[in-house]
Amino acid sequence: MKILDKNGISGILEIFVVFFSIIAILLLFTLPFVVSLILGYYGRVSSYNFDYYYLMLILLYISDIVCLCVMYNCKKLLSNINKSNPFIMDNARRVRNISWCSGVLAVTYVVAIPFARSFFVFVLAFVFTIMALFLAVCYELFRHAVRFKEENELTI
């Protein structure tokens, strides 16, 4: 069994991506109920004029929509890998798209830091920033790998 085929790790990851995409879609439609249920359970009240419920709703809607974009790109990326075609420009672009999505989430959580007043929001902003930078480097690696592969295919 090869590691990088539909029977290996990438095949399993592709199934997980589809599963979590379905969960993200369901969450997108049930988010107001889920947020009110969770905030009601914890009794969270904000000291700001801006209601904490709406802040969480905005953050989670943005996160969920961006997550769906990431899942779509991951699904396409893993599909190409499972077809034994990992080093193509489409995969490099998908890694770049995921990097941009991580950057959007980083900016979203940085903007939310003064309103949420939670250490968790700060940690998420930091994690998404590091992830965006790391994936930008991975994009450059993929792009160079594609270029080298194309040059080697032309060599006789």
Please answer whether residues 66 and 105 qualify as being in contact, where contact means their C-beta atoms are separated by less than 8 angstroms: yes
d(CA 91, CA 118): 36
For the stretch 5-32, pLDDT in tens is 566 788 899 999 999 999 999 999 999 9
**pLDDT value at residue 7:** 66
For the stretch 59-88, pLDDT in tens is 999 999 999 999 999 999 999 998 888 899
- Is the pLDDT confidence value at 43 over 80? no
For the chain, helix, strand, coil in percent to 5 are: 85, 0, 15
| Tokens 């990097």 belong to residue | 99
Q: Which two tokens stand for residue 37?
A: 């249920």
